[in-house]
Every structure is written in structure tokens, then in C-alpha cells.
Amino acid sequence: MTLAPEHRRVLPLADHKPGRSAMTCLYRCGNACAHPAPNESENEYFGDIVAGAVAARLSRRGLLRLSALGAGAVAAGGVLSGVGTELAAAATPAAPRTPKGALTFTPVAPNTADAVTIPSGYKSSVVIRWGEPVLPGAPAFDVKKQTAAAQAQQFGYNNDYVAVIPLDRHGERALLVVNHEYTNEELMFPGVKSVADTTAEHKKIAMAAHGLSVVELERVGDTGQYRPVKKGKRYNRRLTASSKFLLTGPAAGSDLLKTKADPTGTVVLGTLNNCAGGLTPWGTVLSGEENFNQYFVGGNGAPAAEQPALKRYGIDITAAVPSGNRRWDLVDERFDLSKHPHEANRFGWIVELDPFDKNSIPRKRTALGRFKHEGGGPTISNDGHAVVYLGDDERFDYIYKFVSDKKVRRGDTKHNMTLLDSGTLYVGKFSGDSPAAEIDGTGKLPADGAFDGTGTWIPLVRGNESLVEGFTVEQVLINTRLAADKVGATKMDRPEDIERNPVDGKVYVALTNNSNRGATGAAPADEANPRNSNRHGHILTISEKHNDAAAESFTWALPIVCGDPKDASTYFAGYDKTKVSPISCPDNVAFDKAGNLWISTDGNALGSNDGLFATPVSGSEAGHVKQFLTVPKGAETCGPFITPDQKSVFIAVQHPGELEGATLDTPKSVWPDGQYARPAVVVTWRPKGDQRIGS
């Protein structure tokens, strides 16, 4: 972290964002909220997946994939030239329809139970927990005798992004793809009260507990329940902080990406802090490397000319070792920037993984820029180009969009796997349509009755041409934050998940919170971020011109301004607030087939546990936010993922029991098994009657 001297002595658990435990702040993002926000720039403030016919998938895989991603991944709004009729039909622009699939479940009340609490009439079960075997032959989990070799074959820690890809028409089998964002050593190892207590083996276990898992699942009976297959596991895979990844795209091979171990600047060991992600229309998974800054030491020893960029990414350029740093440099010196100054440049990318080929090497796609990637929201433009929406999850950082040069080709997986290597990277600029004087920072609606306005996508790079003065293409893509600062992008309140609604074609952005909005010296409220000291966050929608994901201009609006509905600063699309569930800190979003918006939260600042919520986005019920479930004490709700058949919703219960003073030996949550807390993926389904999730 870049700290002024007066900040360096911040106690590890002393300062954290409201609603999130100090321990989470320490281990998840290296106490980002305790430090000045890195953006000090002067710019304006502002399908039926049939993926598998598994046995015969090889030649037909691409075709099957493209026909499959109906539920979540393929967007509305495009004539997919060359992509195939059924997809084109699914994607043809249309006037917003009246959503079918009313959300009739009885909402769960806010609570602080050490349990997953679901609506009446539903069931839930743990699908897989931290430490359970993933690879064939992996040892059983023993929390007292864990080894790095075992962990590298077992389900990782702190599951975040969740994708579930059916392997057959009925989803009898499916691939679960999960990110493992970070580790909490105090909750993982007996006798460990802080990172200072960890041994070399503990550090190697932590490295092996990061990354991704691919786990083959089977449906249980005719229900929405799933469990890992016991035999087969032909796709099962673990990727860790030591696995091989390739850098591809325009910045691959840049001098800024070269290290002693990799003079080519194209081969990286590991992926770090993988947060959210996305499922592409061609059947691959995107995974966002988020708070990678916290894994490095020695920034003060990096070349002076490169230190400002390190600082802009939140990397400590003082001699101090940041509190909570896992000290992996002590077991792998590439995490010491004084010895390997470019190693940090090799993280902060969007990773593309082919979950169908366990021998494939995942790619870090440099064309999508480098920042604290929350995730990637893929879609297809009206004329068939791949589009990915991207959020940089930091206070006062930006929203981005990538549009590929090439078009998606139905059935051509090899071609589609090149789409994210060349294109235009944009950053968003949001302008309000109300007088600035009417945006007073309280959340009071302006006279026109809406927080809304217009916006443009400012191009940073087109193909191999930089559009930012003074920056080469490589510089834009590697130090993307600096380039975006220069072009006047709008400073946002922590842009997290961004997804396009397949029904209305709008792009939904979760802006989690920003308690520093309006603070002395910081950006004041603006119409797109209308509350100072924004503790509860909001949802922003982007309506692209001509409903085309490749458009360079748009209108935007805030349909939901989160918080306790009794709080005058909240807004729920004009819905009767007495009927709305309190919601705080929206993080991840998903859609069901009816286009209902599902929102998971991180850091509920209202005193309840985090949860999963759902609301219609149009019609008379728009804004009727209802809480679908809550997660155990200290946990955050990640995912969510609604299966294409609408019968299952998966969530990741991340960091259960991550509360002050908790350790493995003295847990503050014992979910799910009654002894100590274990991060796990949970599926919820409705066993009887209308099995559709939300009914």
C-alpha cells in the first residue's frame, strides 16, 4: 500500500469500512479503506447449455456452447451475424417485455443467525467446502494436518465467483467453476493468531488455496440439488498461485512484463485474488484478478520511475511491510518487488479459462486492461462482436468496456478464444442531466425525479493504437488506471459486478459503497454517485444507444439507492418502501430468465448478515426488493448463479466467521458443520410445486 508516514502505523484491525469486519478488510483487500484511495488524479469527479455431449464434444463443442448460454451469458440486443439463428432469435432487440416469473417467495427477515436462512418452501445444501477433494485421488481434508500438496488437490479457500455450466440438455451433470479469492490464515490454521505466526508450509498452503476450481457435479434426483460426482471427474481441475498462465494480447511481451524468470514477458505463475467473473457466449469463464497489490513487498526497491504506477495500484512503495501481508516473499522471492519489480505487473488481469479442457493453459487477456478487476460481464453486440463490461473495484475508480475487433463465430471455439486479444478498451464517463446544485449529497432526488443522465465510452486503445496522449498501447493496458485518469473518466463508488440483463438489454452495475465520497479533499457527490459518505451503495443501469453493446454513447439511471428503506436517502424505483427489504452494499448481480435482478451483498452496514435479494426491474413491481436468503455470521454472499433451467441458485458463502478475534481455535462461526467455519458453495432449490427459483 502507498502510505503517507502518518498512515503507516494503522493497526491491522483499526480502521475498516462500515459493515465489513476489520479482519475481512485486512485479508481481503489489504485494508484498502484504511488507506487513501489510490486515485489522486485531477480529472472530473466523477441455454440450454448443451455444452457437453461430453463424449462427443471435441468437434462439436463450440457449436453446442454457443447454443447453450441462454440463461445468463448471452445478452439481448444483437443481430448475431454469422452466429446462428437460434442465438440471433434470443438476442434480437426487442421492446422491453413484461417480465414473466413473478417473485412470489416470502422474504427472509434480516438476521444474524449462524446459518444459511432461506424462504419457506425451499431447501438448501452445501455443494462443496474448503478442503474437499477435487482432483482424483486427492486426500481427505484434515484441518490439523493440512499440507500444501493436499491443498493443491482440494477445493480452495474463500470461494467467490460461481458458474454452473450444464454438461447435457437436462443438466444432469454440470461443471462448477469457482474462484478462490483470498485466504484468512487465522481461520485456516491451528494456533495461528496472525500472519506472523505462519510457517513456510502455511504460506505454501495459502498459495495453493488461492486460484480456481473446476468441479464436475451431478443432479440429485429430479431436484435442483447438486453434488460433486464421486467417479469420473474428467474435468476436475485446480489452479493455484503457482499454476502456469499465459499473457496474451497487445501488451504480452512488453518489457514491463518481463522478469528474470520470464524474459519473454508472456508466462506467469499463478493467479491472485480472483473475485467475480463471467461466462462467455463461447463457453469459457472469465475471472477477475482483484486486490493483487497486497501480496507484494519491496515496492520501495522498484525503479523510481515505476513507483508512481505501483502507487496508483495501491502497492506499498515505502519500506514498510503492509499489515496483513502474507509474506509469500519468504517462500517465493518473486513477491519481493525490490528483486522482481515487474512481477506485480503480471497480475490485475482478466483471466480466460476453458473449463472443458483441463490441459488448456488459462490466458491473462491484456487487451482488457489491468486494474483491480472485479469480474467481466460478457455479451455480444448487435453485429456480433464480443463485448465485456468491466469494473475496477476501488473507491473513486472506473467502469470499463471492451469491444472485440473480430466477431463471434458460431461453433468455432478456436477462433472465439482469440476474441479477447484485440479490440477497443473504453472507460466510462457519466454526466448528470440535473443541475449540479440539485445534487446535494444527501440522496435527495433532483427536481426531475431521477438520478440519471447521459454518458460516453472514451476509447483508450483501439487494436494496436493508443488514443491516450503520452501513452503507448502497452502503457495504457498495463497502467490502465493512469491512462483513464488522463482522459477524464468518472470516479465511481466502487464498481463491482457488471452484467447485461438478457431481457431488457440494460447493463446493471453494482456500486458497493464509498464512505469517502464527499470527504475533505475527495470527490463530492455527483448525479451518478449522489450520496456523500455512501455506506450502502447503489445500482446503476446503462442503456446503450440503439440497445447495442458496441455503442459509444448511452443513457444511465439509478433504479436503486440502497440502505434501510426508512432512510430518506434510499430509492427503490419509486416502489412503496414499506414493502421493501433493507439492502446494503450490492456486490454481485445476476438475472433469471424473466429478467428479474438478483443482487448479492458484501458488508451489510445495517447490522444484518449479508444476503441475496431479488427484484423485478420493470412493471408495477419494479423496485420491490425482497431478501431471498441470508448467509452465516461474518460471511459475504458471492456468486450468485441461477441455472439455465431456473431450478437452482448457487451462492458462494465466503469468509464465514471472519469477525474480530476469531481464530480457527476460537471460531465466531461454526458453519456449516458445527466445529469451525469453512467457506463453501451452497445450492438452494424448491422441491415441490413450481420449482422455478423465486416462485
Give the footprint of ligand FEO on this chain (CB under 6 A). Answer: 181, 275, 290, 374, 393, 496
Question: How many Å apart are CA 77 and CA 81, to the nearest integer?
Answer: 12
Name the amino acid, one letter, at 166.
P
587 interacts with Ca ion by CB under 5 A:
yes
When CB distances are held under 5 to 8 angstroms depending on the partner's kind, the choice from Ca ion, ligand FEO, none that residue 448 binds is Ca ion
**Residue located via cell numbers 418452501:** 121
Tell me: does residue 433 bind Ca ion (CB under 5 A): yes
Number of other CB atoms surrounding residue 422 within 10 Å: 18
The string of DSSP codes covering 299-338 is GGGS-GGGHHHHHHTT---SSSPPTT---GGGT-GGGBTT
Rounded to an integer, what distance in angstroms lies between the CA atom of residue 649 and that of residue 382? 29
329 is a contact residue toward Ca ion (CB under 5 A): no
Supply the minimum distance, in Å, between the C-beta of residue 147 and ligand FEO. Answer: 27
Q: How far is the CB of 276 from Ca ion (least distance, A)?
A: 5
Q: What is the DSSP string of 19-83?
A: TS-HHHHHHHHSSGGGS--S----S----------GGGHHHHHHHHHHTT-TTTTSPSS---TTT
The reply to whether 405 sits near Ca ion by the rule CB under 5 A is no
Q: How far apart are the first and last CA of the chain?
A: 46
Nearest approach in angstroms of CB 285 to Ca ion is 16
Least separation in angstroms between residue 181's CB and ligand FEO is 6
181 touches, from Ca ion, ligand FEO, none (C-beta below 5 to 8 Å by class)? ligand FEO
Tell me the C-alpha distance between 355 and 167, whole Å.
Answer: 11
CB neighbours of residue 196 within 10 Å: 8
Partner whose footprint covers residue 236, from ligand FEO, Ca ion, none (CB < 5 to 8 Å by kind) = none
Number of residues interacting with Ca ion: please give it, by CB under 5 A: 8
The residue written with cell numbers 438475472 in the block is 591
The residue (of 284 and 291) whose beta carbon lies closer to Ca ion is: 291
Least separation in angstroms between CB 213 and Ca ion = 17
Q: Is 87 helix (H, G, I), strand (E, B) or coil?
A: helix
- Cross-strand bridge partners of residue 29: none
Answer with the entry of Ca ion, ligand FEO, none that 433 interacts with (C-beta below 5 to 8 A by kind). Answer: Ca ion
Q: Choose, by CB under 5 A, the member of 222, 448, 673, 690 that binds Ca ion.
A: 448
In terms of CB distance, is 379 or 601 closer to ligand FEO? 601
- Residue 496 C-alpha cell reads as 463491482
Q: Which region among 304-312, 354-362, 426-434, 591-599 touches Ca ion (by CB under 5 A)?
A: 426-434
Cβ proximity to Ca ion: between 294 and 307 the closer is 294
Q: If you write DSSP's letter for every residue of 90-134 in order, what string do you get?
A: HH---PPPPPPS---SPPPPP---SS-B--TT-EEEEEEETT-B-
Q: Among all residues, whose Cβ is closest to Ca ion?
A: 434
Provide the total of helices (H) and of strands (E) in the chain, helices listed first. Answer: 10, 32
- CA pair distance 165, 589, nearest whole angstrom: 18
Residue 560 corresponds to which amino acid?
I
Contact window for Ca ion (CB under 5 A) among 21-29, 224-232, 439-447, 557-565? 439-447
Closer to ligand FEO at the Cβ: 91 or 275? Answer: 275
By a kind-dependent CB cut-off of 5 to 8 A, residue 434 interacts, out of Ca ion, ligand FEO, none, with Ca ion
The least CB distance from residue 677 to ligand FEO, in Å, is 18
**Alpha-carbon span 19 to 176, nearest angstrom:** 30
394 binds, among ligand FEO, Ca ion, none (CB under 5 to 8 A by kind): none
**Residue 450 grid cell:** 431521477
Instruction: Give the contact letters, 271-300, x = binds to Ca ion (CB under 5 A), - = no.
Output: ----x-------------------------
Considering beta carbons, is residue 275 or 279 the nearer one to Ca ion? 275
Q: Which residue is listed with cell 484491525?
A: 13
Task: Categorise residue 674: left if φ over 0, alpha if ψ from -120 to 50, beta otherwise.
Answer: left
- State the Rg of the chain over Cα: 23
What does 452 bind: Ca ion, ligand FEO, none (CB cut-off 5 to 8 Å by kind)? Ca ion
Smallest separation (angstroms) from ligand FEO to the CB of 421 = 25
Instruction: For ligand FEO, give the closer residue by CB, 20 or 401.
Output: 20
Cell (9 digits) for 205: 498452503
CB of 439 to Ca ion, least distance (A): 9
Closest CB 229 distance from ligand FEO, rounded Å: 29
Q: Which does 290 bind (CB under 5 to 8 A by kind): ligand FEO, Ca ion, none?
A: ligand FEO
Residue whose cell numbers read 419509486: 574
Query: In the complex with ligand FEO, which residue's Cβ is closer, 274 or 669?
Result: 274
Whole-number Å distance between alpha carbons of 508 and 499? 5
Please state, as a whole number, how many other Cβ atoms lie within 10 Å of the Cβ of residue 384: 22
| Least distance to ligand FEO, CB of residue 393, Å | 4
Alpha-carbon distance of 664 to 449, in angstroms, equals 50
The contact mask relative to Ca ion for 217-256 (x = CB under 5 A, - = no) is ----------------------------------------
Q: Which residue in 397, 294, 301 sits closest to 344, CA to CA? A: 294
Residue nearest to ligand FEO (CB): 275
Cα 41–chain centre separation: 25
Q: Which does 474 bind (CB under 5 to 8 A by kind): ligand FEO, Ca ion, none?
A: none
Q: Which is nearer to ligand FEO, 174 or 539 (CB)?
A: 539
Residue 665, binding choice from ligand FEO, Ca ion, none, Cβ under 5 to 8 Å by partner class: none
Segment near Ca ion (CB under 5 A); pick from 110-118, 138-146, 306-314, 447-455 = 447-455
Closest CA to 214 of 193, 194, 229: 229
Which of Ca ion, ligand FEO, none binds 309 (CB below 5-8 Å, type-dependent)?
Answer: none
Q: Site for Ca ion (CB under 5 A): which residue of 31, 434, 608, 684?
A: 434
Only one of the segments 26-34, 432-440, 593-601, 610-618 lies at the binding site for Ca ion (rule: CB under 5 A); that segment is 432-440
Closest approach of Cβ 563 to Ca ion, in Å?
A: 19
Per CB under 5 A, 435 contacts Ca ion = no
- C-alpha cell read off for 571: 430509492
- Of 504, 498, 510, 506, the closest CA to residue 377 belongs to 498
Cell numbers 457466449: residue: 281
Smallest gap from residue 219 Cβ to ligand FEO (A): 30
Q: Which of residues 503-562 bind Ca ion (CB under 5 A)?
A: none
Residue 443 CB neighbours (<10 A): 22
Question: Minimum distance from CB of 28 to ligand FEO (Å)?
Answer: 6
Residue 533 grid cell: 459518505
| Closest CB 351 distance from ligand FEO, rounded Å | 14
Kindly state the smallest distance separating residue 272's Cβ from ligand FEO, in Å.
Answer: 12
CB-nearer residue toward ligand FEO: 589 or 594 = 589
The nearest distance, CB 29 to ligand FEO, in angstroms, is 7
- Identity (one letter) of the amino acid at 538? H
Q: Among Ca ion, ligand FEO, none, what binds residue 329 when CB lies within 5 to 8 Å by partner kind?
A: none
Q: Which residue, among 589, 590, 579, has the nearest Cα to 538 in the 3D structure?
A: 589
Cβ-in-10-Å burial (0-12, 13-18, 19+) of 43 comes to middle
CA atoms within 13 A on the CB side of 274: 32
- Work out which of 186, 336, 452, 564 binds Ca ion, going by CB under 5 A: 452
Binding residues for Ca ion, rule: CB under 5 A, are 275, 433-434, 446, 448, 450, 452, 587
